[in-house]
Chains A and B, each alone.
Chain A
Amino acid sequence: MIIAKRDYMKKKIHITKHDLLPKHVKISEKEKKAILKKYQVTLKEMPKIMKADAALQGMKAEVGDMIKITRKSPTAGEAVYYRVVTDA
Chain B
Amino acid sequence: MKIAVLIKEVPDTGADRTLNQHTGLADRAASEAVLDEIGERTLEVALKILDSQPETHITVLSMGPETIQATLRKALAMGAAGAIHVSDEQLLGADLMLTAQVLAAALRRDQYDLILTGNMSTDGSAGMLPVMLAELLSLPAATSLSQITITDGVLQGTRELEGATAQVSTPLPAIASITEALPDARFPNFKGIMAAKKKPIEVLSLADLDVEALPADTARSIMLTVNQRPAREAGTIMTDDGQAATALVEFLAKNNLV
A binds B: no
